[in-house]
A and B are shown apart, each in its own frame.
Chain A
Amino acid sequence: MNIFFRELKANRKSLVIWSVCMALGVLSGMSKYTAYSGDNANNGVLNELPRAFRALLGMGDFDVTKMSGFFAFLFLYLELAAAAHAVLLGSGILAKEERGKTAEFLAVKPVSRSAIITSKLCAALVNLLVLDAVILISSIAMVAAYNKGPEINGEIVLFVLSLFLVQLIFVSMGTLFAAALKKPKLTGPAAAGVMVGSFVVSEITNLTDRLDALKVLSPFQYFSYSGIVRGDGLDPLAVSLSLALAAFLLWLTYFCYRRRDLNV
């Protein structure tokens, strides 16, 4: 438990900053909704843009003049930011002991390496939940402030739920990088690089239907936002596959970290 509380405290400042930025992101994103919707003349133009161009902007098939479509469009960027937070949190929380050379302090305490990982993961999980709560609450509040059509609170909850699963994948990817890479300074950049790479893959698969097989490489593609907007809910297969992938990455984290030499 002591490691858990220590990590909560150590990550407190960064969590506050991320939370504020996320809330501001929702605020500034939603404040643009009036420009897309309502009486302005450009709504027709937006819907007639070429599909590839809309995909590049992240609009995809969404009708951004409606609140549900606009929120899905906005949420993609929130998701990207939250994924960056998760992957850096995961890699940092484990790699920092070696980066700061405190491994020689922590790893000679009477705790197993597995117990160290478990405590740190629990602390990371709390961080994710807090950030998600911030996203959820600020989204519901800001959507309510701008929404003139039907309320979409149910959809927002589903969006955040799907985000949480994606975060789980990225946080465990981050810890795996920290556990598997020998150079602790490389883990952050490497994990962030893979995260950005998977986002790029996601964008490419949005551009064309022919590369749909690549979707499996990008957690950003596991949950269909247009499905949520249509009212299809979360695909149970996607939910279980995401959980399985996160569990596998975590298992690898434990496996690698338990048997490797710590950099001291």
Chain B
Amino acid sequence: MSVIELKNLTKQYGKSRGIRNVNLNVEEGEIFGFIGPNGAGKSTTIRTLLGLIRPTGGSAAVFGKSCIEHPEVRKEVGYLPSEVFYYDGMRVTDLLKYSASFYKKDCTKRIAELAERMDLDLNKKIADLSFGNRKKVGIVQGLLHEPKLIILDEPTSGLDPLMQQKFFELIAEENRKGATVFFSSHILSEVQKMCGRVAFIKEGKIIKLEKMSDLQANSYKRISLEAESAVPEEVFRIDGVSDLHTKGNTVSFMFRGNLNTVLRKIASVSLRNISITEPDLEEIFLHYYTKEG
């Protein structure tokens, strides 16, 4: 059984916004990245999954059950929303106790521990907190009941780099203890560090779902070469080549596929210089967004 299962999940509001036929399975114990630019439908997907909004088509399940029909499955879910809002009049400690009261277990120790690690003052009023500190409350609030599924929506916005570091350590720790993590972000480098698999979403549709290792190591190469003389563009018009730029003697492109075919092509050119590098996710990502979208 998958921890998260989205089948043809569709949510339409208005004309253009929403998501269309999103299919995803997140398996137990993995850290799953959900990548897309702002407005692509990441938050909509999460909110539909959690039952905050109802799908117009398809289904969404957590631990095999719909959050709308079985709200109790949410007891194993910890959620950190992208924008954190709480009851302004409350103190941090009251809010966290209120949050803990929904889970029928004693979270006092855990709250103290998380607050210390995140350097959060429990006695302050929520209304007096800065955006970053509010986010910390959100992190503690999302983790205090040791959920089996952690859903993070743009978790690092507002956190300083040091806190981001601590936050990632915390998430990695939870993951080692067995928690599944669903990590939505538009910042690729942070997803790259943590996730095992990643789905790309654009304009409400999943455009690619891949293992991080496939994405990075095996398939994509960024190849730049400089030849002795001008290279006709047609030479590298082969399957697997994209983002092809030729300018005089220099050629650069992305390649995915059998390396031997491209190496034979390269060998046919008289070279002055060559570099073959791993593209970072950012490059792969931009590539999807410009070419396949």
Using a CB–CB cutoff of 8 Å, the interface residues on chain A facing chain B are: 2, 6, 10, 100-105, 107-113, 115, 259-262, 264
Contact = CB atoms under 8 A, between A and B. Distances in A.
Which of A2, A107, A109, A259 has most B Cβ within 10 Å? A109
Given A108-B79, A110-B73, A110-B102, A101 B54 contact: no
Contacts of B103: 110
12 contacts: A2-B102, A6-B98, A104-B81, A105-B99, A108-B50, A108-B77, A108-B79, A110-B73, A261-B52, A262-B52, A262-B53, A264-B47
Given A108-B74, A110-B103, 11 more contacts: A2-B98, A2-B101, A10-B87, A100-B85, A102-B85, A104-B85, A108-B52, A109-B74, A109-B102, A261-B54, A264-B47
Nearest to B153: A104
Contacts of B83: 101
B89 interface: yes
A109 B88 CA distance: 19
Nearest to A103: B52
Contacts of B73: 110
Which of A102, A110, A264 has most B Cβ within 10 Å? A110
Interface residues on B, range: 20 to 34
A260 B47 CA distance: 13
B72 interface: yes
Contacts of A102: 85-87
Contacts of A6: 98
**Which 8 pairs between the two chains have the least Cβ-Cβ distance?**
A101-B85, A110-B75, A261-B53, A2-B101, A109-B102, A110-B74, A112-B71, A104-B81
Nearest to B87: A102
Interface string B44-85: 000100111110000000000000000111110101010101
B129 to A, nearest CB: 15
A4 to B, nearest CB: 11
Nearest to B89: A10
A102 B84 CA distance: 8
Mostly helix, strand, loop or mixed at chain B's interface?
loop
A202 to B, nearest CB: 36
Nearest to A101: B85
A111 B88 CA distance: 22
B18 to A, nearest CB: 11
Contacts of A103: 52
A113 B47 CA distance: 15
B72 A110 contact: yes
Contact of B52 (A10, A115, A264): A264
Contacts of B13: 261
A110 B86 contact: no
B77 A105 contact: no
A259 B54 contact: yes
A2 B101 CA distance: 7
Contacts of A10: 87, 89
A194 to B, nearest CB: 27
Interface string B273-284: 000000000000
Nearest to B142: A108
Nearest to B98: A6
A47 B81 CA distance: 65
Which of B52, B86, B88, B103 has most A Cβ within 10 Å? B52
A261 to B, nearest CB: 4
B85 A105 contact: yes
A110 B79 CA distance: 12
Contacts of A113: 71
Contacts of B81: 104-105, 264
Contacts of B74: 108-110
Contacts of B88: 100
Interface in B3-29: 13
A107 to B, nearest CB: 5
A193 to B, nearest CB: 27
Interface string B85-117: 111110000000011011100000000000000
A2 B100 CA distance: 10
B52 A105 contact: no
A171 B13 CA distance: 31
A118 to B, nearest CB: 13
Contacts of B85: 100-102, 104-105
A104 B98 CA distance: 14
A108 to B, nearest CB: 5
A25 B99 CA distance: 39
Which of A108, A109, A111, A264 has most B Cβ within 10 Å? A108
B99 A104 contact: no
B269 to A, nearest CB: 56
A121 to B, nearest CB: 18
A76 to B, nearest CB: 35
A6 B101 CA distance: 11
A104 B74 CA distance: 13
